[in-house]
Amino acid sequence: MSNNLKDILSESNKDIDNQRLMDYLSNHISQADLHDIEKTMADDSFVNDAVEGLQQMKPGKDLQLYVEQLNGDLKKQIAKNKKRKNKRSIKDQPTIYLAVIVILILLVICFLVIRRNNPVVTPENTPNSIQVK
Amino acid sequence: MKPDKYKHIDDNELLRQFYADKNNEWLGILLQRYTLLLLGVCMKYLKNEEEAKDGVQQVFLKAITELHKYKVDYFKSWLYMVAKNHCLMRLRDKGKQPEEIKEGLLATADETDDKMNLVAKDSILTQMEMALQQLNDEQQQCVTLFYLDKKSYHQIAEQTGYSLLQVKSNIQNGKRNLKIMLQRLQQHEQ
């Protein structure tokens, strides 16, 4: 008796998985599980409203199909957003392009300056080669 | 129903991962857990299957957009509030229900009840028995049959002659009244 009284006070924080909920809706559930779900309904308005709504669906409707369709659409939406975000992130950062161009220009300038100060030694312009002539 | 591959990761962890890298795929996993519940809630308020499906998609979009803007601590309660508000707005737009939407009223059981979480001590159990006797007959009968005799809603409805809605309402109101009475008794003792 006292344990059952404690049950009234305790909050059912259990998350019901979708399969159990479907089993409840189709009455393919044990008495213990049924009571468990109804206890969660009594504590959780989200679950309670959801069950009341799902019970209003026309009989024979494939709930699982509905859920899969909605999940598929959600995945597509998230993939689309990700693509758009990637595109935008490249477009939105012209400074990166600018920085790369500046670095390349600096590298070319450095190369030219070094080349000018240290001319390449070839047989034609070495002092020895002049002596041979 | 396909099993959730990420069952081992709880909602809070998924949300934490999302806030860490802002990757919507975490939200996708999280939202998919609630598709069936959201469909049910939208169906309850909108009473039309196509509108309910459309409603779920709108709630998904809203959730993805809003979660980027601010931090949510109680995801499940928050999502329920978003869904309920969306449905009520749709009804209001159609002129079906001029109900005022107050977020405060939509606080869900697990948030409000968290504050009222009571520790079951012997003295509380004695007080509980007293409080149970003070409930009105309908509530007392339904609460006793449901919590103590572990009967289902249907069994209680059959046994008492009440409708299913009356049974649910008696159980929920009875439980709430019991908590209020207990709080009063505890305050009185202190």
pLDDT in tens, A113-125: 998 887 766 666 6
Is the pLDDT at B150 greater than 80, yes or no? yes
Residues 124-183 of B with CB under 8 A from A: 124-125, 128-129, 132, 143, 146-148, 150-153, 168, 171-172, 175, 178-179, 182
Q: How confident is the model at residue B111 (pLDDT cuts 50, 70, 90)?
A: very low
Kindly tell me if the per-residue pLDDT of B102 is higher than 50.
no
Lowest mean pLDDT among A39-48, B12-21, B106-115, B161-170: B106-115
* Interface contact flag, A69 B53, Cβ < 8 Å: yes
Interface contact flag, A61 B178, Cβ < 8 Å: no
Q: Which residue of A has its CA nearest to B4?
A: A17
On whether any CB of chain A is under 8 Å from the CB of B59, the answer is no
Contact A57, B51 (CB under 8 A): no
Q: Which residues of A touch B168 (CB under 8 A)?
A: 41-42, 48
Report, as an integer, the average pLDDT of B113-133.
Answer: 65
pLDDT of residue B132: 86
- Contact at 8 Å (CB) between B66 and B82? yes
Cβ <8 Å between A38 and B152? yes
Q: What's residue B81's pLDDT? A: 95
Q: Give the pLDDT confidence score for residue B109 in this predicted structure.
A: 45
> Would you write out chain A's pLDDT as a tens digit for each of its 133 residues?
556 666 677 766 667 788 889 999 988 888 888 988 998 998 899 999 999 999 998 776 788 899 999 999 999 989 887 777 777 666 667 788 889 999 999 999 999 999 888 776 666 666 665 554 4
Burial (Cβ within 10 Å: 0-12, 13-18, ≥19) of residue A23: middle
Phi/psi for B151 (5° steps) reads -85, 155
A35 contacts B150? CB cut-off 8 A: yes
Half-sphere exposure of B60 (CA within 13 A, CB side): 33
How far apart CA A75 and CA A51 sit, in angstroms, is 25
How many whole angstroms separate alpha carbon A129 and alpha carbon B22? 69
- Residue, of B8 and A59, whose pLDDT is higher: B8
Coil, helix or strand at residue A50: helix
pLDDT given for residue B96 in this prediction? 65
The residue-averaged pLDDT of B91-107 equals 56
Chain-centre distance of CA A73, in angstroms?
Answer: 15
- The span from the CA of B125 to the CA of A9, in Å, is 10
Q: Does A67 touch chain B (CB under 8 A)?
A: yes
Q: What is the mean pLDDT of residues B64-72?
A: 91
Q: How confident is the model at residue B99 (pLDDT cuts 50, 70, 90)?
A: very low
Report the range of poorest mean pLDDT among A33-37, B50-54, B56-60, B93-97: B93-97
Instruction: Say which residues have a Cβ less than 8 Å from residue A59's Cβ, sequence separation at least 6.
Output: none
Q: Which pLDDT score is estimated for A92? A: 64
More confident residue, B40 or A91: B40
**A86 inside 8 A of chain B by CB:** no
Give the separation between CA A75 and CA B5, rounded to whole angstroms.
15
Angle between helices B164-189 and B153-160 (to 10 degrees): 100
Tokens of A28: 């393919």
CB atoms inside a 10 Å sphere around CB A66: 20
> What ipTM, to 2 d.p.?
0.76
pLDDT of residue A93: 72
**Which residues touch A66 (CB under 8 Å, ≥6 apart)?**
B39, B49, B53
